[in-house]
Structure 1
């Protein structure tokens, strides 16, 4: 089942897909633009992976590392479907990253690979923006690149793990103003989901609501103010987002 969370008429509602937009838990149907979209789940710690698709690593001229490149993201980074992400005026190369987001369903400590998927509640689409101008180096992404307010778009739906027949065979696509720029498949993950959970839970406790962003495939291009970016993953829906200016955020 697909389910999400929206704000409408001064309250937060669980929501479901509907042919005319979105159906609230109380049965009311509203257009997508009549509600404010939130992350589909209450998000805990966000653990993000870098260079976890071989072709993307080659695109950036970096070779595979012995251990996964991981970093944490704060709660202020999270933005919902149809939200606006700010592009700073001094940025020369800002790009999207369409990613499969894995939502942890129960506590994981020292979990072995063969048991790892028992700890997965479900999945979402993530669009995790990066500004290359601010990157110190590719092995140690700094705060200005990966912890920007509103730079991690999640949604629109949370999908139960049981409803995804094969999470290792999901196509990912990104469209900028209607043109497909990015295409990949989860079968090409360098470190797959069970291995990631085994690795992470070996030194940190993963709790229900924690989210693992599994990395992005090749096909990144610069995005500008006014661009519409849509990320798709098979079985998870379409996550829409637009790029705003400093002035849109009262910074000019």
Structure 2
């Protein structure tokens, strides 16, 4: 049976657990803390469909050409919340943009990693919802649109690397209020998981516990207060959260 690492609210340590197809039902009966511990780096424009949609825009100012290297941004610690925690909808915002991501959790220091050996540095994988306020900035996403409190739900757990057959061929589905709103596959990444790890570690060190988000598929659904979001990544897990007005929810409330 596959093993995962998870953290239950009120407990100091991350715990190893066995998980199966019935684990999500069990997971709904406990309060989960985020499994994230280190830095979280997001990646822009790493799905081919997103580049295709931008079309000729990429060849005009300010871009001039498609990106030649990974475009990264940071999801700081204030954004971290767990499975079933409430996503705060700021009182000055009408809707949020979901961001279904495969999170690649680093198992040991990764620096100048060769693509062929990149997965040797992976601890496991988790489901992440890279929430943002809808915005038009692409190459330089505004901090206030990507980094508000509760804008990085993750979990419920980190699935062990060996339980995932091929991280470059995983179906990702997003359901809003029970209706499927998005489906894609990591086979459509511009940079595979291994290539992305190799290129990023070529200019900065990834430490144990850091998480690299491989990117958000094109056409992410928008959600409003009261909406229930369920993101499923095959072989990894299912992350669920409800959107609540910030004045009503408080950070990380259940």
Moved more, 89-98 or 230-239: 89-98
Moved more, 85-94 or 174-183: 85-94
How big is the shift at 1:18? 7.2
Structure 1 residues 200, 19: closer, same or farther in 2, change over 3 A?
A: closer
Aligned residues between the structures: 240
Q: Distance in 2 between matches of 1:175 and 1:33?
A: 17
How big is the shift at 1:147? 1.3
Deviations 1:189-239 (A, max 9, x none): 011111111111112111110000111112322200000000000011210
Structure 1 residues 72, 174: closer, same or farther in 2, change over 3 A?
A: same
- State how 1:103-118 maps to structure 2 within 5 Å: 103-118=105-120
How big is the shift at 1:162? 1.3
1:154 corresponds in structure 2 to 154
Structure 2 residues not aligned, in runs of 5+:
59-65
Are the aligned partners of 1:83 and 1:242 in contact in 2 as well (CA < 8 Å)? yes
1:197 corresponds in structure 2 to 197
How big is the shift at 1:17? 4.1
Q: RMSD of aligned C-alpha atoms?
A: 2.4
Q: Distance in 1 between matches of 2:233 and 2:28?
A: 22
Structure 1 residues 189, 224: closer, same or farther in 2, change over 3 A?
A: same
Structure richer in strand, relative to its length: 1
TM (norm. structure 2) is: 0.85
Q: Distance in 1 between matches of 2:86 and 2:54?
A: 26
Are the aligned partners of 2:156 and 2:237 in contact in 1 as well (CA < 8 Å)? yes
1:27 corresponds in structure 2 to none
Matched, 1:75 2:77: yes
Structure 1 residues not aligned, in runs of 5+:
23-29
Q: Distance in 1 between matches of 2:82 and 2:154?
A: 5
Matched, 1:36 2:31: yes
Structure 1 residues 18, 112: closer, same or farther in 2, change over 3 A?
A: closer
1:245 corresponds in structure 2 to 245
SS in 1 for 2:145: helix
2:236 corresponds in structure 1 to 236
2:89 corresponds in structure 1 to 87
TM (norm. structure 1) is: 0.86
- State how 1:129-144 maps to structure 2 within 5 Å: 129-133=131-135, 137-144=137-144
2:45 corresponds in structure 1 to 51
Are the aligned partners of 1:183 and 1:218 in contact in 2 as well (CA < 8 Å)? no
Structure 1 residues 18, 185: closer, same or farther in 2, change over 3 A?
A: closer
